[in-house]
Amino acid sequence: MRDKILAFIDFFYPVMRRVMPLQTFRYAVCGGANVLLDLFLFFISFHYVFDKSILDLGFVVIKPYNAALLLAFVVTFPTGFLMSKYIVWTSSSLTGRVQLFRYSLLVMTNFFLNYVLMKFFVEFCGLFPTISKIFTIFIVVFYSYLSQKYFTFKEKK
């Protein structure tokens, strides 16, 4: 499966060869696919699963955009790690366990950034949640790329 995914992604690389290195292209494709999945799950769960209504669990009340954020996170965490480990950062010298731990730290940071930025854009700027999510994605993706390249899946020089 990995080889088929790599062959598919690498088939389109010649068009981008002058713009970015192969690893960055793979990150953009895999990360982009995971972001689209995240955005799709967020949109569907916000509008249809939680129906834009507050979720009352009895012991805690969750705003619908936060519930949608959590649902999307539960799905995109494992897909993001697997694509990063087996497609993008394949030459990392770290063990899988260390990568998973570091990826978990990065994702927790990203989740916190998502929460804070969503709160800022929705509650303070008055933007619609889906538009806020798109702005948030752009900010978090930049941070995530640098963190994965230089920390989570670091290569020995």
The per-residue pLDDT for range 37-73, each reduced to its tens digit, is 988 999 999 899 888 778 778 888 888 888 898 899 8
Assess whether pLDDT exceeds 70 at residue 157. Answer: no
The per-residue pLDDT for range 7-27, each reduced to its tens digit, is 999 999 999 999 999 999 999
Spatial separation of the C-alpha atoms in residues 127 and 115, rounded to whole Å: 14
Q: Computed over its alpha carbons, how large is the radius of gyration of the chain?
A: 17
For residue 2, which of 34, 30, 35 has the smallest C-alpha distance?
30
The per-residue pLDDT for range 98-140, each reduced to its tens digit, is 999 999 999 999 889 988 999 999 999 999 988 998 899 889 9
Structure tokens at 102: 């570091």
Q: Are 103 and 70 in contact (CB under 8 A)?
A: no
- Residue 51: per-residue pLDDT: 82
Q: Are 140 and 114 in contact (CB under 8 A)?
A: yes
What are the DSSP calls for 64-83, one per residue? Answer: HHHHHHHHHHHHHHHHHHHH
Q: What is the DSSP letter of 155?
A: P
The rounded Cα 27 to chain-centroid distance in angstroms is 11
Per the confidence metrics, is the pTM higher than 0.85?
no
